[in-house]
Structure 1
Amino acid sequence: MPCTLLFLAMLAAHAEPLQGHGPQDSITLLEPDIENMRLAWQTGIAQRRADWLAPALTALSIYYQLRGLAREGEAVMRAAADAATGWDASGVALATRASVERARFQNRLGQHWPAMQSAQAALKLAAACADRWAEGMAHVWWGEALWRLGKYDAARHNLDHAMTAAKDIDSTHIIGWVHHQLGIIDDIQGRYDAAHDHVQRACDAWRKLGNATTLSVSLNSLGLVCHHQGDLEAAQQFMEHALRLCEEIDNRHLQALLFNNLSIVATERGDYSGAQQHLQHGLELAIRSGNATGQAEMYNNLGRNALLQGHFGRAAEYHEQALQLSEQLGNRSTMATAMLNLAESKRELGDTQRAEALYRQALQIAQHDKLQRAECLVSIGLAELLADSDPRQARQLIASAASIAEALGNPDFIERARAIARALGTPADRTEKNRSA
């Protein structure tokens, strides 16, 4: 028993340092004894020692996050929540926090419906033990699960609840996460100025707390916003800054995502070999950590890289893998991207019937979920495909794409839409006239 308490106390002592500027120092100190700490945690559960376990929970969760051990993290938090719910009041408090962390890991694993169930369970427990922090974070992870499933309005509703709880208890941590999630939703839906503002506020919160791990997460998102605005230089700078932080703190989960995102920038700059290296590194990390969402995104980009180099068969194989994974996850944003990419691969292979069906499926998702960037790209692709067989519909599609491209302020999209409009015989300066009216 003394050894169990000792190892759990060691974990608990690193809770704050793991959320600071140098979490890698704590990881280095914890790593030699991590097996003993795992055993101590199991012993604490068996002995119903919520008073020993609760102080160690945050540190254990962060260890799993940084090491990319989402599967183990989810299993440990599930077991703790299931066991401790039937204990005394201190056990209920432990189960509450464990349920919150379980929802976090489930989102990482792409288990978004189960994540919502865990968040709902956490909210019921939080109400029983008056834990406003857990209430706020449960709404954050519930909101994330919702937007990953394309339910953006519902996600905002949950995030509003989270912000209310955060302000009531003056939690900079929850405020940072709310702004981060709202920024992602705005980015997905093409509201880039609002997205930039939200994510910048998240970065400000993390700097105030001195949390290098969460700062790197939001810097990555800032890079994505800049990329979607067409500013590749700024995008690369933010992502490389985030990657340096991740390498310093050895955050393997986020490293995988950053390799994926840096590959997108490299591809758009014509550096296909550099993009391929980024993607191979990222895919290996994502597979090892069980990051299914990351795998789907990387297969999408491996296919895109192959497509741009003229390897159409290989591109289609990668895009089929991306579509299969995103359908399993129920991630509609990634699904729409995979359908768009697979449509372009099939079009290059001469399978225009399958390409048209995929374009239309992707367009339906993009319009329903208000994915403006995806809708613009799909409309452009489908207009190109229909230019000869149905020029009237092609003109309608390209007019819609041009309008969205202007609203997004993306110069590449605007130029593509204008080029196709000229080829179709529609006024090339229509969007300029609309803008100046």
Structure 2
Amino acid sequence: MHDLVRLYAVELADGIPSVEAVSAQVRLLDHYLHSAFAANLLLDGPYTPFRPEPEAPATGSCPITPDDTAAALRWFHDEHDCLLAAQSQAAALGRHRVVWQLAWTLISYHLGGHRLQEYVMVWQAALAAAEYDGDNRTAKTLAHWRLGFASARAGDHGQALDHLRHALTLAERSNNIAGQAHIYRTLGRVWEEQGDNARALDHAMHALRLYQEVNHPLWQANQLNAVGWMHAQLGLYTEARAHCEQALALFRAEGFPAHGASTLDSLGYIAHHTGRYRDALDHYGQALELFREVDDTANEPDTLANAGDTHRALHQYADARTAWQRALELYRSQDRTAEAEDLRDRLEALRDE
């Protein structure tokens, strides 16, 4: 919008009766909420945890639905600032449910682009709104879970555990088995990041049992991969491969082959650490194809870095350098400083080989 058009719109709004102005704001908020909900479904599919059910949009709000995943990503990119403003406006109007539901629609976009600062901001607002949203335990559980995840990503594991334990207590009180599974899954990742792989595996296994209890194949497949990965971190490669192969088969059987990209990366890691370097490169290559198919730039550099390790083990130094250089570019674009520094060290060491 041109600045003069915006200024003219503001001037017109000043003369509108307050009832009409609020009605217009409600229509605008519903436009953004329902459009973001539709766009997120294209990115994440219908099985995203804690999926809310927004109320029907106000008459005249005119939400849109992007044509495909690429269009959904473009829409989130173009409208991101407006979505943040819409969340703030919803809070000001007391539309607390819209506040946390908007945060939910942004999970995949924020994490996919490593926009951690905005991610934390919208979930802090979501938690505040959930506290005002009556006795809505689901909203409070969701907000504490996502803030726990964010705190872990920021390296504050103490705060992460506080939020996650609070979320788990709420999920248990509500007998929300699926919610408990999601939280145990995240707790496993937090313990892994702290280097306690045995405790991480315990939490991952508990999450898997809960996912099996709710009988959700896609969530089970994701968690089978997580359990396989944690076995690999403990050097239990036979168990690791068995779980990951079961995960990959389940993804394919359920018609979600692209969701198996991270599992292929895990299988590549397992193959590398058991000396099957050619198999590792094959798995990594398949994973990269799937990540690029869905424009998953968040996970792509990790697989590139792993593939570079395998190329180096095979003394394919030019290929290792190419993989690491591309991964380094992606890490830098995502402000992932620690990963970027690690790759710079690897590239520097490679010059001597």
TM-score class, shorter-chain normalisation, is 0.7 to 0.9
Does residue 9 in structure 1 map to residue 34 in structure 2?
A: yes
CA contact (8 A) 1:126 1:132 kept: yes
Distance 1:56 1:211 in 2: 26
Does residue 218 in structure 1 map to residue 292 in structure 2?
A: no
Does residue 68 in structure 1 map to residue 68 in structure 2?
A: no
TM-score by length of 2: 0.76
Distance 1:75 1:55 in 2: 14
TM-score by length of 1: 0.63
2:85 equivalent in structure 1: 39
Secondary structure of residue in 2 paired with 1:295: helix
Distance 2:249 2:80 in 1: 33
Between the aligned residues of both structures, percent identity stands at: 19
Specify which of 100, 106, 117 is matched with residue 162 of structure 2.
117
CA contact (8 A) 1:110 1:291 kept: no
Report matched runs for 1:316-395 at 5 Å: none
Greater helix fraction, Structure 1 or Structure 2: 1
Distance 1:132 1:291 in 2: 34
1:315 equivalent in structure 2: none
Distance 1:221 1:299 in 2: 23
Change in 2 beyond 3 A, CA 1:251/1:25: same
Change in 2 beyond 3 A, CA 1:304/1:190: farther
Change in 2 beyond 3 A, CA 1:167/1:126: same
1:281 equivalent in structure 2: 326
Distance 1:82 1:212 in 2: 38
Does residue 137 in structure 1 map to residue 186 in structure 2?
A: no
CA contact (8 A) 2:100 2:126 kept: no
Gap runs ≥5 in structure 1 = 310-437
Distance 1:284 1:146 in 2: 29
One-letter code aligned to 1:284: E
Offset of residue 255 of structure 1 = 1.6
Secondary structure of residue in 2 paired with 1:224: helix
Does residue 28 in structure 1 map to residue 53 in structure 2?
A: no
Distance 2:253 2:158 in 1: 33
Offset of residue 123 of structure 1 = 1.0
CA contact (8 A) 1:48 1:87 kept: no
Offset of residue 248 of structure 1 = 2.2
Distance 2:309 2:125 in 1: 39
Higher-Rg structure is 1
One-letter code aligned to 2:319: G
1:243 equivalent in structure 2: 288
Gap runs ≥5 in structure 2 = 1-25, 47-67
Secondary structure of residue in 1 paired with 2:40: coil
Change in 2 beyond 3 A, CA 1:133/1:37: same
Report matched runs for 1:287-298 at 5 Å: 287-292=332-337, 294-295=339-340, 297-298=342-343
Does residue 93 in structure 1 map to residue 138 in structure 2?
A: yes
Does residue 80 in structure 1 map to residue 105 in structure 2?
A: no
Distance 2:110 2:170 in 1: 23
Distance 1:110 1:55 in 2: 26
Distance 2:302 2:103 in 1: 26
CA contact (8 A) 1:66 1:250 kept: no
Offset of residue 3 of structure 1 = 0.6
Change in 2 beyond 3 A, CA 1:29/1:43: same
One-letter code aligned to 2:195: G
Offset of residue 83 of structure 1 = 4.0
1:399 equivalent in structure 2: none
Secondary structure of residue in 2 paired with 1:150: coil
Offset of residue 296 of structure 1 = 5.5
Offset of residue 142 of structure 1 = 0.5
- After TM superposition, the structure 1 stretch with the greater mean CA deviation from structure 2, 199-208 or 116-125, is 199-208
CA contact (8 A) 1:116 1:142 kept: yes
Offset of residue 14 of structure 1 = 2.9
CA contact (8 A) 2:307 2:323 kept: yes
2:50 equivalent in structure 1: none
Change in 2 beyond 3 A, CA 1:71/1:287: farther
Distance 2:270 2:346 in 1: 17
Offset of residue 39 of structure 1 = 1.9
One-letter code aligned to 1:89: D
CA contact (8 A) 2:100 2:127 kept: no
Offset of residue 110 of structure 1 = 4.3
Specify which of 185, 193, 196 is matched with residue 238 of structure 2.
193
Higher relative contact order (CA 8 A, sep 6+): 1
- Count how many residue pairs are aligned between Structure 1 and Structure 2: 307
